[in-house]
Structure 1
Amino acid sequence: MEEKGVLIVDDELQSRALIRKLITIYFPHCSIQEASDLETAEVLIHSFNPDLVFLDIQFKGETGFDLLDRLSDISFSLIFTTAHSEFAIKAFKYSALDYLLKPIDIDEFQTAVSKALSKPNPTPIQADQIHFIRQFKSGPDLPDKLSIPTVDGFLFVTISDIIYCHSLGNYTEIYLSKNQKILSSRTLGSFQELLQQHSFYRVHRSFLVNLAHVTMYKKKDGGLLVMDSGDEIEISRANRDHFLKIMTG
């Protein structure tokens, strides 16, 4: 098996030691380097040329994002590591960046590393993805944009422009204003988790709608919603009464 290079960037010795141990046990074909500060990490990224970098978020007076800002090119897979935080979890889900929560779960670790090392060409990190994380650091306000993973990379959309989402198995079609449509590799359940605080409602097992874009409710056929795009969305009988209560007060 081809040898892979892994760089662990964390100012906590115990955290670096744990990741090193797990890599050694589950991915023995990897060579490992460590950095306890961002300056050393930057040097090793250029000299060691890692395939995968574990990057902690918090450093003394700096963040892991400051390291990324210094790099002109990110040609490696990246897994952020962070202490458990509700806002941190939301931030990474909005940004579609890979992350592991401390204390690290072994199964999640194996899944994340296997995924990262299997990428022939890591998807470049976009500035908007980092922006989402920084936005959450300043407080719990909800972001106004969402990073949507697609087969080609990521698209960044304004949440208020999303009219509705339609499930296609493990994929989701996102219908936007101005007759735009995106096919995402996220499930509808993932979008529901991210968007429910933005007045999105799961009206059917296959549909998640933005209530701001609903213009009419039709009683026929068990219940249909007319969106401002003109599309009609079926509402399930199980959700109909609760939906009408929300919309009519």
Structure 2
Amino acid sequence: MTTERQDNILIPTTKGLQLEKTNNIQNICAEGSYCELMLISGAKHMISKNLSSLTKLLPSHTFFRIHTSVVINIAHIKEVIGTEVVMSNDCRFPIAQRRKKEFVDFLKRNSLSL
């Protein structure tokens, strides 16, 4: 895949298809066999794909599955408090206990540290 192709995602809507930059995705929450994409604009899109198949489409250096039902874009993290992630829109998501260490390591590898 080329970098350009990975930077965009086609989102099916009631009007057709919406081309969106992957960096504009803040988080994805699973809801059964559907997923809800939350964009930084505040727009939400319900997608008829499961979380595993959507995760495979996204850049692995930016998105992390912090919980069974939640994938976040680390570019939009405001802070990490204990076992919770606070996103730039103040949404809070729990970090699964068994994923906490892997998540912190992922952040260290993909972020600048002081």
Question: What range describes the TM-score normalised by the shorter chain of this pair?
Answer: 0.7 to 0.9
Residue 67 of structure 2 is aligned to residue 204 of structure 1? yes
Residue 3 of structure 2 is aligned to residue 141 of structure 1? yes
Residue number among 239, 242, 245 corresponding to 2:99 in the alignment: 239
Larger radius of gyration: 1
Q: Which amino acid aligns with 1:248?
A: K
Cα RMSD (Å) of the superposition?
1.7
Question: Which blocks of at least 5 consecutive residues in structure 1 are unaligned?
Answer: 1-86, 88-139
Looking at structure 1, the residues matched to 27 and 98 of structure 2 have their Cα atoms a distance apart, in angstroms, of: 19
String of CA shifts for 1:155-184, please: whole Å, max 9, x gaps: 221111100000011110000112111111
Deviation at 1:152, TM superposition (A): 5.5
Map residues 28-177 of structure 1 onto 2, 5 A cutoff.
87=1, 140-143=2-5, 144-150=7-13, 153-177=16-40
User: Identity over the aligned pairs, expressed in percent?
Assistant: 26
- Greater share of strand: 2
Query: 8 Å contact 1:150–1:185 — kept in the other structure?
Result: no
Which TM-score applies when normalising by structure 2? 0.84
Q: Which residue of 1 aligns with 2:53?
A: 190
Q: Which moved further from structure 2: 148-157 or 176-185?
A: 148-157
Question: Which blocks of at least 5 consecutive residues in structure 2 are unaligned?
Answer: 110-114
Q: Which residue of 2 aligns with 1:111?
A: none
Looking at structure 2, the residues matched to 244 and 150 of structure 1 have their Cα atoms a distance apart, in angstroms, of: 35
Secondary structure at the aligned position of 2:3 is classed as: coil
Number of aligned residue pairs: 108
Secondary structure at the aligned position of 1:217 is classed as: strand
Secondary structure at the aligned position of 1:197 is classed as: coil
